[in-house]
């Protein structure tokens, strides 16, 4: 029997739908606006005639950016940092998380504390900066001149992600591992044939977390990379924003598009690849928060 909705329930439902719709549209609108503004004509953008749809369509802003070599360099730098950074972080985190998940590991409590303490206390920006400077010196002295490797190796490790992996590995039933050991598997084989396949979704989630933080990394890349040819995309975007919003830099601007369009085009180009893979990774992204390192 279907119950009739009570009046309070009905009111709440109406409020929910209304506010949700408003919020969802507010989330979407800036992106739509950015696309429209990036392909609209100059005077239309400068005098804010664009509300939702583009007017007087041009693609000059995009073509100017695609002709800019620095754009492609920064893009490939970001791909480099994201790929190698994620691989290195996953290598470290999977091995470490696996070892920490073993009850027989001596000083297990100490190692766990060693990780968790870095979540509570960090030395701060200044000592970290001095540390990276020293690291760069060491790297240069052993022949690694490219600061991209500094970003890949020294930055972006997160204790939380290792704890997520540790918890996932702890959840694997020990019988399966014992069976593998009886069959003569070594530690490495146990990890690669039992543990990794059995905690695939957590591994995917953690890899995604690392990849996103690498893709988005800005502050330290800007601090540590003096050579513009090594700049990742985020630094490039910021520098362009600073350039185009500086009135002195844009005096005598005589393109068919507005300076704003150039920035919006850059923003659109940095979001599009994420939007393309978004449907595939959204599942893991949503799962990630729930696997949390929470102990009851």
Partner 1 sequence: MKVRAADFLDYDQERGVYRENPEQLVRDDVEKHYWLHVVRAIIKDWRLYLMLVPMLLVFLFWRYLPMYELLGCFKVDNSVLSVSDQMFSGFSYFKRLLFAGDSTSTDFWRAMRNTFITSFYGLCFGFPMPIILALFFNEVKSNGARSVYQVLTYLPKFMSTVVMTSLVAMLVKQGAVTTNMGIVSQALVKLGVIPYEVGQAGLLNNPKFFRTLYQISGIWEGAGYDSIVFFAAIIAISPTSYEAAQIDGANKWAQMRYVVLPSILSTIVIMLITRIGSLLNVGYEKVMLLYNTNTYVTADVVSTFANRYGMKGEAQTGLAAAAEMMNNVIGMLLVIGSNTIARKATNTSLY
**Which residues ranging from 141 to 200 are in contact with partner 1 (CB under 8 A)?**
154-155, 157, 159, 162, 186-188, 191
Contacting partner 1 within 270-289 (CB under 8 A): 270-271, 274-275, 278, 282, 285-286, 289
Q: Does 137 bind partner 1 (CB under 8 A)?
A: no
Q: What is the 3-state secondary structure (H, E, C) of 170-202?
A: HCCCHHHHHHHHHCCCCHHHHHHHHHHHHCHHH
Helix axes 200-216, 69-101, angle to 10 degrees: 140
**Is the alpha carbon torsion for 12, 17, 18, 20 positive or negative?**
positive
Cβ atoms of 77 and 235 within 8 Å: the answer is: no
- Scanning 63-71, 175-183, 198-206, 262-270 for contacts with partner 1 by CB under 8 A, the matching segment is 262-270
Contacting partner 1 within 195-254 (CB under 8 A): 212, 215-216, 218-219, 223, 234-235, 237-238, 241, 245, 247
Cβ atoms of 262 and 47 within 8 Å: the answer is: no
Integer Cα distance of 81 and 234 in angstroms: 12
Q: How far is the CB of 158 from partner 1 (least distance, A)?
A: 10
| Residue located via tokens 């910021």 | 238
Q: Would you state the structure tokens that stand for residue 202, as one six-digit string?
A: 């957590």
- Scanning 48-56, 65-73, 141-149, 194-202 for contacts with partner 1 by CB under 8 A, the matching segment is 48-56
Q: How far is the CB of 286 from partner 1 (least distance, A)?
A: 5
User: Residue 143 or residue 247: which is nearer to partner 1 going by CB?
Assistant: 247
User: Residue 72 or residue 219: which is nearer to partner 1 going by CB?
Assistant: 219
Contacting partner 1 within 56-75 (CB under 8 A): none
Q: How far is the CB of 260 from partner 1 (least distance, A)?
A: 6
Q: How far is the CB of 124 from partner 1 (least distance, A)?
A: 3
Q: Does 267 bind partner 1 (CB under 8 A)?
A: yes
Close Cβ partners of 261 (under 8 Å, ≥ 6 residues apart): 37, 38, 39, 40, 42, 45, 61
Close Cβ partners of 292 (under 8 Å, ≥ 6 residues apart): 164
Contacting partner 1 within 91-130 (CB under 8 A): 91-93, 95-96, 98-100, 102, 104-106, 111, 114-116, 118, 120-130
């Amino acid at each position: 029997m279907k119950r009739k909705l009570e009046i309070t329930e009905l009111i709440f439902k109406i409020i929910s739908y209304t506010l949700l719709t408003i919020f969802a549209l507010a989330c979407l609108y800036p992106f739509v606006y950015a696309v429209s503004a990036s392909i609209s004509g100059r005077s239309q953008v400068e005098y804010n005639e664009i509300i939702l749809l583009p007017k007087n369509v041009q693609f000059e802003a995009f073509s100017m950016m695609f002709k800019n070599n620095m754009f492609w360099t920064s893009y490939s730098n970001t791909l480099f940092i994201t790929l190698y950074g994620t691989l290195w972080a996953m290598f470290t985190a999977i091995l470490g998380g696996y070892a920490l998940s073993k009850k027989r590991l001596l000083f297990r409590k100490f190692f766990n504390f060693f990780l968790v303490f870095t979540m509570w206390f960090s030395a701060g920006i200044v000592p970290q900066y001095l540390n990276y400077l020293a690291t760069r010196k060491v790297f240069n002295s052993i022949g690694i001149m490219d600061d991209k490797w500094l970003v890949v190796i020294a930055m972006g490790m997160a204790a939380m992600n290792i704890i997520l992996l540790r918890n996932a590995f702890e959840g694997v039933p020990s019988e399966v591992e014992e069976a593998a050991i009886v069959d003569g598997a070594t530690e490495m084989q146990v990890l690669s044939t039992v543990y990794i396949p059995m905690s695939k979704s957590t591994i995917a989630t953690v890899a995604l977390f690392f990849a996103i933080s690498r893709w988005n990394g800005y502050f330290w890349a800007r601090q540590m990379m003096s050579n513009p040819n090594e700049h990742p995309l985020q630094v490039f975007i910021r520098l362009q924003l600073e350039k185009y919003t500086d009135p002195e830099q844009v005096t005598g601007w005589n393109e068919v598009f507005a300076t704003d369009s150039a920035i919006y085009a850059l923003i659109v180009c940095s979001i599009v690849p994420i939007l393309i893979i978004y449907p595939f990774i959204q599942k893991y992204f949503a799962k990630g928060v729930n696997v949390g390192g929470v102990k009851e």
